[in-house]
Structure 1
Amino acid sequence: MSAAKRPVPDTWQPKLVALDIDGTLLRWVDGTGIVHEELSPAVFEAVRRAEDAGAHIVLASGRSVDAMTPVADLLELHGHGERVWIVASNGAVITRYPPVEVVHEETFDARAAVAAVLTEFPNALVAVEERGVGYRVNKEFPYGELNGELIETAIEELVAEPVSRVIIRDPTATVDDFLELGSKLGLHGIDYVVGWTAWLDLAPIGVSKAFGLDHVCRELGVDAGDVLAIGDGRNDLEMLEWAGRGVAMGQAVDVVHAAADHTTGSVDEDGAAQEINRWF
């Protein structure tokens, strides 16, 4: 548990529930970087109960916003009569929906960082979101890992303008390879997150899911102490530490458990529903 936080009382009820998607709401297809695009009845019912009780439900993911709105639809989020908030691209893109309206976006110059990564991994796959379409990529990504249309584009053109997020993927590398790479390069002026596989997200310095959620909370008049956050990945670390109660999914890696206040069941055990039902 973070030393800066105290345990919430048993009578506590979150005013905002921040939910990661992949590995938290949606189950992984075994041995792949793909999830089943369907909710279990237990998770659906728990989220519906929380929103109907008055909590704000905010999806917070590394996905692009276009890949998040279908999940908002699956959950039947109603935003208490207002458009729902969505924190996309690991906090760099903050939107309202429906329809999609970008409320805030953080961008950065990724040219030097991408060049440095490709020096170490010259065969790496690189992707940048093309909002409303899909992604611009330097090469084809493994099937199902990116949503929408994939538009092959030269590296120089991919990062010619400031971007909100860059995805680096190398199916021949390992997580440890990318962890070592991030440490070796330093990647000054940007932040990076390594995924469950050899997947590296580059983002503007200081930007995380916690950054995006803090923006939403200020808009809604909600304190971070009144937030329940649930996630399973390294890109959830800041969110779990920032929220009043941060909860790791059972299958999360050790560093995520260490950042959380509590561990719930795995995604295959409907862990998100277990945690939400504790408070609603």
Structure 2
Amino acid sequence: MSVDSKPELVALDVDGTLLDPDTQTISDAVKAAVRRVVESGAQLVVATGRTFLGTTPVLDELSLTSGFALCSNGAVLVDVAQREPVSVASFNAAPVLRTLREHLPGCIFAAEAVGVGNLVSAPFDPEKLHGPQRRTPVDELAARPVPRLIAEWTGHDPAELAETLAGLRLPHCTLSVDTYEPWATVVPEGQTKGAALEKLRTELGISAERTFAAGDGTNDFEMLKWAARGVAMGQAPLELRATADATLGTVAEDGLAAELDRLFD
């Protein structure tokens, strides 16, 4: 897609892209830009590491009533009109829990129960983990397939977590480390935002050359590579900005709004 072409599929990350993590708000400028995308007839896809329950308030705030959302880094596909999951991919949590406990002593876990909440080995900050939490022994967490598993290494920072897990391979899973929190997110093997978007693009019959994506986190690498034009937010890690087609202003500067306004003038 050329720099000035109008995309037909627009994929947007939530935290750090649509929503400012510092204020926990979506600016009026971003909301207006998103409305212009939808009114143009382009297919808008909210693509996030958040759970289904954590994504629904964002869809409401953006007044989205159609299209799709990809939650849990692509493991859960949601019909926006119905506010219901269309498909859910899952994995066996037992060997993953075993490996992460060895590498991250003292970490706590949250396993997503789609549409219900999270099963947690210890309480999480309710502002960071969306939906109800039910305290559950680790052995019980390991007993069922899950679409998303979070490991929070309390008392450590994201850089230390990333260094500790560098090169680690988990069976039949994809692992990513959060940019802002000491969180490792595990989803089924091959389930990335990019892979899920490619499947959706094919089903919708949209040209690969008319795709756009914006993100700011390490879980956005594949999505930005997938898009004909993939852009990174100004506060994104250097390695993400280096691989993106362009770097926007930061989320606090409404960098996404400026880019969407330019594309959908």
TM-score normalised by structure 2 residue count:
0.94
Segments of 4+ in structure 1 off by > 3 A? none
1:252 corresponds in structure 2 to 236
Deviations, residues 202-232 of structure 1 (Å, cap 9, x unaligned): 1111110012212221221113321110000
Corresponding letter in the other structure for 2:84: E
Contact kept, 8 Å, 2:70 with 2:77, in 1: the verdict is yes
Unpaired segments ≥5 residues, structure 2? none
1:198 corresponds in structure 2 to 182
Deviation at 1:189, TM superposition (A): 2.6
Alignment identity in percent? 39
1:279 corresponds in structure 2 to 263
1:74 corresponds in structure 2 to 61
Q: Quick one: which of 8, 12, 17 aligns to 1:19? A: 12
Q: Quick one: which of 187, 205, 208 aligns to 1:221? A: 205
Residues in 1 aligned to 2:144 and 2:126: alpha-carbon distance in whole angstroms: 27
Deviations, residues 47-95 of structure 1 (Å, cap 9, x unaligned): 101110111111000001111122111111233xxxx201000011111
Contact kept, 8 Å, 1:46 with 1:276, in 2: the verdict is yes
Corresponding letter in the other structure for 1:89: S
1:57 aligns with 2:52: no
Deviation at 1:107, TM superposition (A): 1.2
Instruction: Tell me: CA distance 1:119–1:9, structure 2 relative to 1, closer, same or farther (3 Å).
Output: closer
* 1:205-216 to 2 correspondences below 5 Å: 205-216=189-200
Corresponding letter in the other structure for 2:185: D
Residues in 2 aligned to 1:209 and 1:93: alpha-carbon distance in whole angstroms: 10
Contact kept, 8 Å, 2:65 with 2:80, in 1: the verdict is no
2:102 corresponds in structure 1 to 119
Residues in 2 aligned to 1:272 and 1:259: alpha-carbon distance in whole angstroms: 18
Contact kept, 8 Å, 1:62 with 1:89, in 2: the verdict is yes
Instruction: Tell me: CA distance 1:40–1:229, structure 2 relative to 1, closer, same or farther (3 Å).
Output: same
Contact kept, 8 Å, 1:229 with 1:247, in 2: the verdict is yes
Instruction: Tell me: CA distance 1:9–1:98, structure 2 relative to 1, closer, same or farther (3 Å).
Output: closer
Deviations, residues 76-133 of structure 1 (Å, cap 9, x unaligned): 1233xxxx20100001111102323322222111211211111222310100112222
Residues in 1 aligned to 2:116 and 2:65: alpha-carbon distance in whole angstroms: 25
CA RMSD across the alignment: 1.5
1:43 aligns with 2:30: yes
Corresponding letter in the other structure for 1:27: D
1:32 corresponds in structure 2 to none
TM-score normalised by structure 1 residue count:
0.89
Instruction: Tell me: CA distance 1:142–1:209, structure 2 relative to 1, closer, same or farther (3 Å).
Output: same
Corresponding letter in the other structure for 2:2: P
Corresponding letter in the other structure for 2:243: A
Unpaired segments ≥5 residues, structure 1? 1-7, 30-34
Contact kept, 8 Å, 1:64 with 1:89, in 2: the verdict is yes
1:4 corresponds in structure 2 to none
